[in-house]
Structure 1
Amino acid sequence: MLCSADRRVWCLSLLGALTMFLVQPPADLWRLAWLAPLPWLWLIQADTLGTAQPWRVLWVGGLCYWLSAIHWLRLPHPATSIGWIALSAYLAIFVPLFIWTSRRLVHRWRWPLVVAAPLAWMALEQLRGWLLGGFTLAALGHTQWRWTELIQCADCFSACGVSGIVMAVAAGICQMLPERGVRYRMGHALCGAALGTGVLAAALCYGMWRMAGEPLPHGVPLEVLLVQGSIDTELKHDPAAAEQVVRQYDRLTVAALEAYSAGLPTPARPDLIVWPETMWRYGLLEIDAAHVLPESVVEQMLGPAVGSDLAAAADARQLRCQRALEQERLDGVGAFARRYATTWLVGLDKQIFTPLVPAGVQNFNCALFLDATGKVLDCYEKMHPVVFGEYLPLAERFPWLYRLTPLPAGLTAGTEPVAVRIADRCVATNICYETTLPEAVRSLVLTLEKQDRRPDLLVNLTNDGWFWGSSELDMHLTSAIFRAVEVRTPLVIAANTGLSASIDGSGRLLKRGPRRETATILARVYPDGRRSPWLVWGSWPTGMCVAIVAVVMLEGWLFASALRIVDRPADQHLG
């Protein structure tokens, strides 16, 4: 049977998992976020946990939380249930790390809870944004996206800073509440409450100041038509359904353009049309001159070879066939761009056939800009594919690894951001999961700024048809809201199955599409232009939190090692 101390740790660990889950989508009880960490904070504040193996119990609590929070990861394919469990098990480690680190700061280093808990929480949120490619969804600060004044401090400390504010207030409340097993000190409680209140007040004052300096809309807005179809991933990946996918998006686009021109004496067009990630199902081809096409393909494209010197003509036929195959794919997408008669940004795949890689082919997830004549303006290749979701480590060298997974092949990462001038505005793009990575978006903006092409608008192309309208859509959208604030740049999203959106540089959600339904959104975007401190110093503030936590962990390890050395002679004597 469990003793009372064991039961207490179990109850508070699981209660914390429940309350932290309830503040995230789908329950989305966001106001509860200021109280949700209390069960875990009580464990930090307790003079002793009173049980021999508390960290295993806390890991189980973390596991329950993450299994619930990212339940949608099991939806794309039966095999992704393995990834769901594995990722949850990994993320669960951060719960005992948070409680252990905070307890060490409070009880050994004598730091107040209202300082120790936010510092440890920000450090560990930052760490999970750095490790294994980064996973930042379901951050505590994300729950507060509706409180626009509060989230303005993300342009100093990113979303981790907002999480720290929420945790500081929760810690202040915790210090005010008497708890069994904790010595109650009125002076400490009042100081903690005052410090938590002061942090919140400072954040709100900063937010109101930043919003007061928000530029007023001026000039002509950039008009962007976001096209949201509703194509579940299984349908999208059915080769026979490619035409159906394109037909749905084309129908939505044409209807929206007709509505846009209705009542005008002459036809008019928005400045930009955006289709989501990979919704043009006929991918681009690039073929290396050294790649040899099968003769059957060459004959199908060019007909049988004729003439006496067939060997001499073989290389020329290969080159003609390669260029014809590449142009055939461009002609198809270019014809649609000419029909729309405006700039079109469309998500599609691209394959590069080359003997220079072991697999013989590289696969890219792309965003293609075309002008009103069908001419290609530029092509962005996704720079941050999702590990285990879009590629396997080492699989470019050992392609046979993909035979062990549901992935038919992996993506190759692009190497540079892309920006195109549209109606005298600079428009940059990224794809899908990249909006969840603060450093990736910051790097994109800084790189383009150094080239004198700082974006006036960020466009995200997303296919969330994998997740069947689940709470992943809400978490993905929330990440984009914080990215807009961090880099002070308006951001629009075209998302298959939703949630398409228009977000301004202060993180206001101006327009949002429906969930798992078709829609079109006309976003009118004005540039923001404000400077962002986070663009200057990046993750240095939260990185300092990581450094402090690393010192705490090292000190704890050295302390434990020293105790073992001191105890060893006594053990030998007793033996």
Structure 2
Amino acid sequence: MPSTTAPQEPMPSTTPSSPSSPDVQPVAPPKPRKGGEMTVEDIIANARKAPVLAGSRGAWILSAITGVLMWASFTPLDWGFLGWWALVPMCLLIRLPKPTRWMYTATLTCGFVSSLAMLQWMRLGDVMMYPAWVALSFYLGLYFPIFVGLSRTAVHKLQMPMTLAVPVVWVGLEFFRARLMTGFAWYFLGHTQYQFVELIQISDITGAYGVSFVVAMVSACAAGLVSVRVFDKLKMLPPGVGVEAVSEPTRKRQALAVAATLLVFGSVLTYGIVRRSEAKFVDGPRVALVQGNFPVSVKHDPNEGERIYRMHEWLTGRAVSVGEHPDLIVWPETMYRVPLLEADANASDTKLREASPYIPVEAWRKRQVHGALQELCERCGAGLIIGIDTFAVGESKMQRFNSAAYVLPERGVVSRYDKLHRVPFGEYFPLQDVFPALRSFTPYGSGLDAGESAKVFQLGSYRIAPVICYEDTVPQLVRGIVKGTMESSSDGKPVDMLVNLTNDGWFKGSSELDQHLITAQFRAVECRTPMVRAVNTGISAFIDGDGVVREPEIFFDGDKREVTTSRDPETGRLKKSLNAMMVAPIPLDARQSWYVQTGDWFSGTCAVAVVGIFGFGLWYGRRRKNTEDALTTMV
């Protein structure tokens, strides 16, 4: 083979400290043959030399710090101010010129452990939820190395500023997390700021994703101000490579990053202040929320059904006597323990026996629950929305729904909403229709069926949209329900309020109750629609269109049998795990929501960018491999 003269300047592919090529592996300079010449074989052998990577200790330390900060930012500690710094250690891994040993393993492991701690309340639901708890935690942990890898591609290959790449990638991944495998829109980074009311108002344009974007951008900016000497102190540089080989951002670039971050933060904060000043809340219907305190072990005990009913009936009576005759009374999810039986009027006795062999035919015909609900409603003199199981016989089989029954005096059950979004592993098991044996792994045994569509309950001139259980945590679902009510309305206006019926008795007063409420608060801001929540064991609440949990006019402690406040005077936290009743007028909100009108354009754009970054990374890696293969062919 002909030889080539060694270049006077070191080639970029063999320069360990080249700032223009941060991802090039540091290798020893090629050894030219006698006479100062180097063959193509020498060049290829040098290029293919195994990379020398830094040790993994620094990556483990930084990943662990991010994991701890993420956990502490959410309930039960609820130190939301830490959310601004949670991603800083991981952003240092993104900024690092070369990955260290085990870096992605460290981010995955620490992300998994952090998620395991945040989701520890899942284990309380049912012994069958332990595998789901571990599986979901591992799934959420996967987003950490994916985030670091995609952000590194954007920063080092596409030369994107870290203050742009980090929030775009983070929000794009939250978009996917809210949808993949039915979605899990809990513990978004922006949720840490729920108490920063002015900041979260941007949610009516971008959804909660906009708040996550701002928080992630601040973390990225802060990481860019950290001296590169931290890499040397944590021994995160390859052997023989000093800090002088790492490109330090110029003061001009740092100043631009800080200015851009302050501009975004200031704009979002200003928008929130202006938007809140526009709120002109008007009192709507008076609503009473009935909150029982029954753990799931009691709820599913057939001998406890009478006691559960008597407690809710008594609290309902207190709502009427001390609540100045509310217009609407709401019971939590499935707290009326006798199922509602619905059958086609033309269904024959034979068909009913075939569809439900364990339910007597006469039970379908008598409709006793319909009569009992109407009688209760007439005694209250108010509308009722009651959480109840529904058994319905259609054309071919019996279906079981998790429902909200709407009852009016003198009219009885006038409408029913069947839950649309079922909880995986709780209310159904994925692929259970393909593998029926999987149904036995859900706490409901046979699982639940999904409803067909959203419903609007008409209470005088007010329009109400019910959602059940975790549906209030799914942004695209709630947004779709509100937008659908606008399209079905003669005046093009959305519903006046959302009503959430929930049973959090599975989780025994844990941090799940607090986090569930926090997530629901963002739905109220996104849709500019007030929400009321009647929750077994708590936390029941009135949420206005700014996402603020309002103190009810009347809070009746059913255990102490006295009117008191909804917050613990010592901790300031909302009370839970008690029998209670609360009454307040609904703060109607006339403001319109851009998010309802346009949907997830913001997070969707970030998701498209993530796909583009991923595609570029694949193309770049393939191109590099093809280049090396071409050099090999030359030999």
Q: TM-score, normalised by structure 1?
A: 0.89
Q: Indicate if the aligned counterparts of 2:293 and 2:578 stay in contact, CA closer than 8 A.
A: yes
Contact residue 67 and residue 111 of structure 2 kept, 8 A: yes
Q: Quick one: distance in 2 between partners of 1:300 and 1:102?
A: 58
Per the TM alignment, residue 437 of structure 1 is displaced from its structure 2 partner at its CA by 0.5
* 1:55-103 deviation per Cα after TM superposition (whole angstroms, max 9, x unaligned): 2221111101111111111111112010000011111111111111111
Query: Quick one: which of 387, 397, 402 aligns to 1:347?
Result: 387
Q: Higher helix fraction: Structure 1 or Structure 2?
A: 1
Equivalent position of 1:275 in the other structure = 331
- Counterpart in the other structure of 1:231: 294
Whether 2:270 is the aligned partner of 1:205: answer: yes
Is the CA contact 1:5–1:49 (under 8 Å) kept in the aligned structure 2? no
For residue 258 of structure 1, report the CA deviation from its aligned partner. 1.7
SS in 2 for 1:526: strand
Q: Partner letter of residue 202 of structure 1?
A: S
Equivalent pair of 2:429/2:441 in contact (CA under 8 Å): no
Cross-structure match for 2:425: 388
Q: What secondary structure is seen at the aligned counterpart in 1 of 2:198?
A: helix
CA contact (8 A) 2:500 2:534 kept: yes
Quick check: 1:115–1:168 contact (8 Å CA) kept in 2?
Answer: yes
Q: 1:536/1:439 Cα in 2 relative to 1: closer, same or farther (>3 Å)?
A: same
State the SS of the aligned residue for 2:464.
Answer: strand
- Of 313, 316, 339, 1:253 maps to 316
Tell me how far apart the structure 1 counterparts of residues 113 and 213 of structure 2 sit (CA, whole Å).
23
Q: CA deviation at 1:216?
A: 4.4
Q: Which moved more, 1:170-179 or 1:238-247?
A: 170-179
Matches within 5 A, 1:184-195: 184-185=248-249, 186-195=251-260
Find the residue that maps to 2:399 and give its secondary structure: strand
User: What is the aligned counterpart of 1:427 among 441, 464, 488?
Assistant: 464
Match for 1:514: what amino acid?
Answer: K
1:99 is aligned to 2:148: yes
Q: Say which is worse superposed, 511-520 or 230-239, in terms of deviation.
A: 511-520
Aligned equivalents of 2:422, 2:603: Cα separation in 1: 25
Are 2:83 and 1:33 aligned?
Answer: yes
> How far apart, in 1, do the equivalents of 2:219 and 2:547 lie?
24
- Which residue of structure 2 aligns with residue 514 of structure 1? 575
Counterpart amino acid of 2:625?
R
Among candidates 158, 165, 174, match of residue 125 of structure 1: 174
The letter of the residue matching 1:232 is: P
Deviation (angstroms), 1:514: 1.6
Larger Rg: 2
Matched, 1:379 2:416: yes
Q: Deviations over 1:35-56 (max 9, x none)?
A: 12111111111122232x4222
1:348-390 per-position Cα deviation (integer Å, ceiling 9, x unaligned): 000123562xxx4211000011012361121111111112221
The verdict on how the C-alpha distance between 1:255 and 1:99 changes in structure 2, with shifts beyond 3 A counting, is: same
Cα separation, partners in 2 of 1:546 and 1:458, compared to 1, 3 Å? same
Query: Which residue number in structure 2 is paired with residue 560 of structure 1?
Result: 621
Which region of structure 1 is more displaced relative to structure 2, 466-475 or 273-282?
A: 466-475
TM-aligned CA distance change 1:298 to 1:232, over 3 Å: closer
String of CA shifts for 1:388-430, please: whole Å, max 9, x gaps.
2211234346533313554411111111111122242111111
How far did residue 221 of structure 1 move? 2.8
C-alpha separation in 2, matches of 1:192 and 1:293? 69
Over the aligned positions, Cα root-mean-square deviation in angstroms equals: 2.3
- Per-residue CA deviation, residues 307-356 of structure 1 (Å, 9 max, x unaligned), is xxxxxxxxxxx6xx36424x112122222222212101100000123562
TM-aligned CA distance change 1:60 to 1:398, over 3 Å: closer
Give the alignment partner of residue 54 of structure 1, picking from 91, 103, 107: 103
Task: Give 1:566 deviation, angstroms.
Answer: 3.5
How much has 1:210 moved relative to structure 2?
0.9
In 2, Cα distance between the equivalents of 1:275 and 1:444?
A: 21
Partner of 1:454: 494
Specify whether residues 480 and 116 from structure 1 end up closer, same or farther in structure 2 by C-alpha distance, changes over 3 A only. Answer: same
Which residue does 1:183 correspond to in 2? 247
Superposition pairs of residues 56-71 of structure 1, within 5 angstroms: 56-71=105-120
Aligned to 1:310: none
Distance 1:260 1:279 in 2: 21
> Within the alignment, does 1:292 sit opposite 2:351 as a pair?
yes
1:294 Cα shift?
4.8
Partner residue of 1:15 out of 58, 65, 70: 65
Q: Which residue identity does 1:411 align to in structure 2? A: L
Of 208, 213, 220, the match for 1:164:
213
Provide the rounded CA distance (Å) in 1 between the counterparts of 2:460 and 2:358. Answer: 44
Task: Measure the CA separation in 1 of the matches of 2:591 and 2:107.
Answer: 43
Contact 1:337/1:374 (CA < 8 Å) preserved in 2?
A: no
1:5 counterpart = 2:66: no
What is the Cα deviation at residue 18 of structure 1?
0.6
Indicate the residue corresponding to 1:173 in structure 2: 222
Q: How far is the alpha carbon of 1:521 from its aligned partner?
A: 1.4
Q: Deviations over 1:250-284 (max 9, x none)?
A: 111212322224xxxxxxx1010000000000111
* Equivalent residue letter for 2:413: V
Alpha-carbon distance between aligned partners in 2 of 1:378 and 1:407, rounded to the nearest angstrom: 24
Normalised to the residue count of structure 2, the TM-score between the two structures is 0.81
In the alignment, the residues of structure 1 paired with residue 259 and residue 401 of structure 2 have an alpha-carbon distance, to the nearest angstrom, of 52
- Is the CA contact (8 Å cut-off) linking 1:271 and 1:423 kept in structure 2? no
Distance change >3 Å, CA 509–CA 298, structure 1 → 2: closer
Q: Give deviations 1:127-165, integer Å, cap 9, x for gaps.
A: 100111110111110111111110000001101110111
Query: After alignment, is 241-250 or 115-124 more displaced?
Result: 241-250
Contact 2:319 2:326 in 1 (8 A): no
Matches of 2:358 and 2:602 in 1, distance apart? 62
Q: Name the counterpart of 2:601.
A: 540
| Structure 1 residue 214, shift from structure 2 partner | 1.2
Report the equivalent of 2:447.
Answer: 410
Tell me: CA distance 1:438–1:206, structure 2 relative to 1, closer, same or farther (3 Å).
same
More displaced 10-residue stretch of structure 1: 184-193 or 376-385: 184-193
Deviates more, 1:189-198 or 1:269-278: 189-198
Percent identity of equivalent pairs: 34
Distance 1:49 1:294, change over 3 A: closer
Are residues 547 and 340 of structure 1, via their aligned partners in 2, closer, same or farther at CA, if it must alter by over 3 Å?
A: same
Larger mean Cα displacement after TM superposition, 72-81 or 248-257:
248-257
Amino acid at match of 1:471: S
SS in 1 for 2:342: strand
Matched, 1:480 2:545: no
Amino acid at match of 2:549: L
CA distance in 1, matches of 2:53, 2:619: 31
1:379 and 1:47, CA in 2 relative to 1: closer, same or farther beyond 3 A?
same
Contact 2:209 2:603 in 1 (8 A): yes
Q: Tell me, in whole angstroms, the C-alpha distance in 1 between the residues paired with 2:65 and 2:357.
A: 66
Task: Describe the superposition over 1:12-52 as per-residue Cα deviations: whole angstroms up to 9, x where unpaired.
Answer: 1111101111101011111111112111111111122232x
- Distance, in Å, in 1 between the alignment partners of 2:381 and 2:60 is 63
State the secondary structure of the residue aligned to 2:153: helix
Asked if structure 2 preserves the Cα contact closer than 8 Å seen for 1:172 and 1:194, the reply is no
Aligned AA for 2:577? R
